[in-house]
Amino acid sequence: MTKELELLGSYKLVLGLEVHVQLMTEQKMFCGCSADIWQAEPNTHVCPVCLGLPGALPVPNFEAIRKAQLFGLALNCTLNQNSRFDRKHYFYPDLPKGYQISQYKQPFCENGHLDLLSGNVADIERLHLEEDVAKSLHEGGKTLVDYNKSSIPLAEIVTAPTFKTLDDAVDYCKQLQNIARSLGISNADMEKGQMRLEANISLRTADMEARNELPKYKVEVKNINSFRFMEKAVLAEVVRQRELLEKGETPKQENRGYNEATGKTVLQRSKEEANDYRYFPEPDIPPMFFDEVYINELKSLLPELPQQMKDRLVRDFGLTKEVAHALVDLGGKDLAEKFEAIVKKGNEGRKVANTLLNKKETLEMTVDQVDEMLKKSSEVINDSAAISAAVEKAISANPKAVEDFKAGKQNAVQFLVGQVMRETQGKAAPDVTRGLIVAALEKKSAQQL
């Protein structure tokens, strides 16, 4: 159950997210400095470009662009053929140039979406690439600046005000994290700052929601660095904004930060409009053009994505959507791969999933150890006659699977194995079951010829 419902009273949540993901590249975004800065001595990965010295010229890192575009494709975005970098001006002690190279009118990717577990769809407006800023360290009353992080490539993914519940927002963020990991473009580790969130939060009445009307304000909560933190910040804002609205006031459009000690958000600054940033095209980097051949080649490089993997686990192993979600989105790529490896050893899918998700000790066990444990624990039915009955039942209840088999779809066999397993509570010996199903299907196909 999503946590904000009671706090909302009669209001509805309107939530949009801006997520920054640090891309894993060899070099920084606009210079040749090594981007491998984790735990490096301060100011050891710097050059005139990332220090923002006058006259230093940026050269875009093609590896970062390609990874950002792959990310966009995986989020079902359209890749823009014409794209360019822009300067976004603002004063920041960590930004010596006085502007950040980002993208404004022509980002690399636009108009994507992600399907959420709840059945809702997250509407993604854009994915653009920008450079990170340096890092201030406050020590003994002094502020020191470390430029190692300056110009590390960041993909920023911006959603519409698309989330109606906190659960949807958390699901979206976890999916984003898993997609980045599946693509090998980022570890998206929030503790290491490789993934950071900003949440745009406002409330509206049920009538406004029915009319699809957005509130006239939004509050941006900055620098959220964990899912737990996001939940707390959103809940705190829900309470604060509801109280203002109930007094007949409209919350101000502003940036706030979450204070963990007080459990409340605090004002940081009033919110800028886009025109405050004085965006203009970056004059030192020419506009870019990507042709169809390039875009198609990128598409062919996409690996199996978490959504596709979940669909496949549901289809081939008879898992429920929730179990597939728990394995792939919550457990991550490693757990999903472990699941498949154990199933390949002749174990029934749902049973393997159940074991991996409910028996914590299996997290530490190897594939072979879990396999052994499963085989020991199950009283396998090897008796052909007993299994045959279940096979006949599964085949007569699923004529479509028979058609699929005739059409050469091997998935049909796996599907029927799943049905027999359900019938026998996972006790039928998988090899025997498979053999009996194939024999029965072949017999049926021959009869109908």
Q: Interface with Zn ion by CB under 5 A: which residues?
A: 31, 33, 47, 49-50
Beta-carbon count within 10 A of 412 CB: 20
Cβ neighbors of 10 (< 8 A, separation 6 or more) are 205, 206
Identity of the residue, 29 or 183, whose beta carbon is nearer to Zn ion in the bound complex: 29
Provide, rounded to whole angstroms, the least separation between the CB of residue 50 and Zn ion. Answer: 3
Name the CA dihedral angle for 442, 443, 444, 449, rounded to a multiple of 10 degrees. 90
Provide, rounded to whole angstroms, the least separation between the CB of residue 332 and Zn ion. Answer: 33
Identity of the residue, 33 or 394, whose beta carbon is nearer to Zn ion in the bound complex: 33
Provide, rounded to whole angstroms, the least separation between the CB of residue 65 and Zn ion. Answer: 17
Rounded Cα distance between 342 and 337, Å, is 9
Provide, rounded to whole angstroms, the least separation between the CB of residue 29 and Zn ion. Answer: 9
Rounded Cα distance between 203 and 194, Å, is 30
Provide, rounded to whole angstroms, the least separation between the CB of residue 376 and Zn ion. Answer: 57
Report the candidate in 305, 320, 367, 361 with the shortest Cα–Cα distance to residue 339: 367
Provide, rounded to whole angstroms, the least separation between the CB of residue 151 and Zn ion. Answer: 6
Provide, rounded to whole angstroms, the least separation between the CB of residue 55 and Zn ion. Answer: 14
Rounded Cα distance between 16 and 274, Å, is 17
DSSP string, 345-393: TT--HHHHHHHHHH-GGGGGS-HHHHHHHHHHH---B--HHHHHHHHHH
Identity of the residue, 35 or 68, whose beta carbon is nearer to Zn ion in the bound complex: 35
Identity of the residue, 149 or 338, whose beta carbon is nearer to Zn ion in the bound complex: 149
Q: Which amino acid is at 197?
A: L
Identity of the residue, 94 or 209, whose beta carbon is nearer to Zn ion in the bound complex: 94
Cβ neighbors of 334 (< 8 A, separation 6 or more) are none
Q: What is the CA radius of gyration of the chain?
A: 26
Cβ neighbors of 135 (< 8 A, separation 6 or more) are 94, 145, 146, 148, 149
Provide, rounded to whole angstroms, the least separation between the CB of residue 59 and Zn ion. Answer: 10
Identity of the residue, 48 or 184, whose beta carbon is nearer to Zn ion in the bound complex: 48
Identity of the residue, 33 or 199, whose beta carbon is nearer to Zn ion in the bound complex: 33
In degrees, rounded to 5, the angle at the alpha carbon of residue 13 between the alpha carbons of residues 331 and 235 is 65
Q: What are phi and psi of 86, to 5 degrees?
A: -130, 160
Please state whether beta strands 280-281 and 264-270 pair in parallel, antiparallel, or not at all (unpaired).
Answer: unpaired
Identity of the residue, 56 or 298, whose beta carbon is nearer to Zn ion in the bound complex: 56
Task: Tell me if 380 sits within 8 A of 427, measured CB to CB.
Answer: yes
Q: Which amino acid is at 323?
A: V
Identity of the residue, 51 or 429, whose beta carbon is nearer to Zn ion in the bound complex: 51
Q: Is 295 exposed, middle or buried (0-12, 13-18, 19+ CB in 10 A)?
A: middle
Identity of the residue, 50 or 183, whose beta carbon is nearer to Zn ion in the bound complex: 50
Task: Tell me if 186 sits within 8 A of 64, measured CB to CB.
Answer: no
Provide, rounded to whole angstroms, the least separation between the CB of residue 164 and Zn ion. Answer: 43
Provide, rounded to whole angstroms, the least separation between the CB of residue 326 and Zn ion. Answer: 42
Cβ neighbors of 6 (< 8 A, separation 6 or more) are none
Identity of the residue, 146 or 167, whose beta carbon is nearer to Zn ion in the bound complex: 146
Q: How far apart are the first and last CA of the chain?
A: 53
* C-alpha dihedral sign at 29, 34, 223, 326: positive
Provide, rounded to whole angstroms, the least separation between the CB of residue 25 and Zn ion. Answer: 13
Residue located via tokens 């997609």: 179
Identity of the residue, 33 or 183, whose beta carbon is nearer to Zn ion in the bound complex: 33
Provide, rounded to whole angstroms, the least separation between the CB of residue 96 and Zn ion. Answer: 12
For residue 261, the 8-state DSSP code is: T
For residue 163, the 8-state DSSP code is: B
